Every structure is written in C-alpha cells, then in structure tokens.
C-alpha cells in the first residue's frame, strides 16, 4: 500500500527552534503586526504603502509595508515562503547585516522605486503591503548565485537563462493570484539583482565595524541563535579556536545558535 508523507509537528518544531535570531525577529514582527491589526485596524492603513500619501511625514511606510499583511492567508503564505530564504541569507551574511538590511534598505529601496513608478510613470495609486517583495528580492539574489555555475535551465527542449526564473515566477504569480502587484514584485526582484551583482553592497557597514560591534557587545555570547559576521575567525555560528582537533583532524562546528564556551 502506498505511503504518503504526513505533516510532522516535531519536525516543524525542530525547524523553528533552529531558526537564527534575525529571521525569528522578522517573522515575529510579521505575525505580531497581523495580530495587532485585528483590534487596531488603523494599523494596516498606517503601515501600508500608498503612493499618493507619500511625503516626508510618511517615510515609515517604506520600512513597515513588507511586515504588514491584508489577512491571515496573505500573512501565512508569505511567512512560509520567506522563512527558508531569510534563514539562508542570515546564515550567509550574519545577524547584524540581516537586521540592518531588512529594517532599512531592503524595504526603503523597493518601496521608493515602486512609489516613484506609480506616481510619475503609471500615474496610479495602487496600495501594496506584504513580505512578498522580500520573497522576490531574496529569490533573485539566490538565483544570481546559481546563474554563475548553471547559466541555463532546461525545460523540455528549451533552455532559459537561470537569472530569468524569478521574473517568470513574478509573471505567473500576477496571472494566477488575484490582487498582487506586478510592479511591486518587479521592484523587489530588481533590488535582489542589484544586491547579488554587488552594486549596492556599500549599504552594509564595513566588516571591521561589524566585528568591533560584535566583540564590544559580546553579541555571540549573549544572544541565543546569533549568527556571527566574522567568517574568518569564528565562522557564522561562532566556532571557537581550539588546541585539540576532534574527529580525526576535522574541526567540529557547533549547531546554529550555540553559545561559545567561556
């Protein structure tokens, strides 16, 4: 008799417990804002990105619109879509970099681009909100890395450039899913391409500054699930130097989020 893969709560719990710090905080912010908007519906209007209302007094919208969602299904779908991408990004770049980018430029840049296009090119006022802008940003950045090793993807007799797959997904999503913003998703994907190509890497503070902050505040020792930015010395998860080499000469790394031993 055929067996089917069943939902395993234990595996889901294990995955959630292994999530790095910044990923946890951003996912909690998404869920927290959705819960807060139930008794306080004005929060949704306050946080959404509405091009016609944008001026210097409304800049908070550029940072908050990816965290706010229209309803439960909108929120939960984006939550499952962004969690693995966000975890992968934080594991590569560290907790400080992830928090700095996703509370700053990764919201303001696609949001500002969308606002300018809506107001001055399309002369429209389509309201947007939701973490899908981050989903396509991270997808584009990830695909650009794959493009370097696998420039094309074969679909039957056809070969398409690997880097175009997020754009195809944006188009398919816009056709199949109602009330999604094609322009908003394209803006997110565009920032992802720029990041992966190195054009906006200057937005991240220098590694020496980040390392100094981590050392001065002892973030790796104080914060559970913190991912270090210092790859060269400790590795992303804080591998401490040791005089003895276990496991036949292969150094062993602690699990993500493990604290260093004093």
Contact criterion met (CB below 8 Å) for 106 and 137: yes
125-170 pLDDT, tens digit each:
999 999 999 999 999 999 999 998 888 988 888 899 999 999 999 9
Could you give the C-alpha distances from 191 to 1, 58, 137, in angstroms and in order? 49, 22, 6
Q: And the tokens for 60? A: 């908070």
Q: Is the pLDDT of residue 242 over 50?
A: no
- 3-state SS, one letter per residue, for 137-196: HHHHHHHHHHHHHCCEEEECCEEEEHHHHHHHHHHHHHHHCCCCCHHHHHHHHHHHHHHH
> What CA dihedral angle connects 75, 80, 81 and 84, to 10 degrees?
140
Burial of 1 (0-12, 13-18, 19+ CB in 10 A): exposed
Only one residue has tokens 């959705």, namely 34
Structure tokens at 143: 């695909």
8 in any annotated domain? no
Residue 231 binned pLDDT confidence (cut-offs 50, 70, 90): low
- For residue 121, how many C-alpha atoms fall within 13 Å in the half-sphere facing its CB? 7
pLDDT value at position 7? 63
| Statement: residue 250 has pLDDT above 70 | no
Provide the pLDDT for residue 248. Answer: 44
Whether 11 is in a domain gets the answer no
Residue 104 belongs to domain with CATH number: 1.20.1540.10
Q: How confident is the model at residue 79 (pLDDT cuts 50, 70, 90)?
A: very high
What residue numbers bound the domain in which 230 lies?
207-249
Q: What is the pLDDT of residue 241?
A: 41
Is residue 80 pLDDT above 50, yes or no? yes
Within this chain, do residues 97 and 166 fall inside the same structural domain, yes or no? yes
Judge if 66 and 130 occupy the same domain. Answer: yes
Total domains in the chain come to 2
Active site residues per annotation: 132, 185
Residue found by looking up tokens 């889901």 in the block: 12
Can you count the helices (H) and strands (E) in the chain?
13, 2
Q: Is residue 260 part of a domain?
A: no
Beta strands in the chain (DSSP E): 152-155, 158-161
pLDDT band at residue 238 under the 50/70/90 scheme:
very low
Q: Taking residues 79-92, report their average pLDDT.
A: 95
Query: pLDDT digit string (tens) for 41-65?
Result: 999 999 999 999 999 999 999 999 9
Q: Is the dihedral of CA 205, 186, 190, 108 positive or negative?
A: negative
* Average pLDDT value over all residues in the chain: 87
Is the pLDDT at 257 greater than 80, yes or no?
A: no
Place of tokens 């398409």: 160
Average pLDDT over residues 89-93: 93
Shared domain for 149 and 222, answered yes or no, is: no
């Amino acid at each position: 008799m055929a067996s089917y893969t069943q939902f395993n709560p234990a595996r889901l719990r294990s995955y959630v417990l292994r999530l790095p710090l910044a990923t946890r905080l951003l996912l909690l912010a998404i869920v927290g804002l959705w819960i807060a908007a139930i008794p306080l519906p004005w929060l949704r209007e306050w946080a959404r990105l509405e091009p016609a209302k944008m001026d210097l007094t409304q800049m908070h919208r550029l940072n908050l619109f990816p965290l706010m969602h229209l309803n439960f299904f909108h929120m939960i779908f984006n939550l499952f879509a962004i969690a693995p991408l966000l975890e992968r990004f934080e594991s590569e770049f560290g907790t400080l970099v992830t928090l700095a980018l996703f509370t700053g430029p990764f919201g303001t840049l696609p949001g500002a681009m969308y606002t300018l296009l809506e107001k001055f090119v399309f002369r429209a006022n389509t309201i947007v909100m939701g973490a899908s802008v981050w989903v396509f940003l991270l997808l584009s950045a990830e695909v650009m890395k794959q493009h370097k090793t696998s420039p094309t993807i074969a679909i039957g007799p056809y070969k398409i450039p690997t880097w175009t797959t997020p754009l195809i997904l944006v188009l398919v999503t816009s056709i199949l899913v109602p009330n999604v913003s094609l322009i908003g998703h394209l803006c997110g994907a565009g920032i992802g391409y720029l990041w992966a190509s190195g054009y906006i890497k200057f937005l991240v503070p220098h590694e020496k500054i980040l390392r100094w902050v981590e050392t001065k505040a002892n973030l790796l020792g104080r914060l559970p699930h913190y991912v270090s930015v210092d790859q060269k010395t400790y590795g992303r998860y804080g591998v401490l130097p040791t005089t003895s080499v276990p496991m036949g000469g292969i150094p062993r790394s602690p699990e993500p989020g493990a604290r260093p031993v004093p």
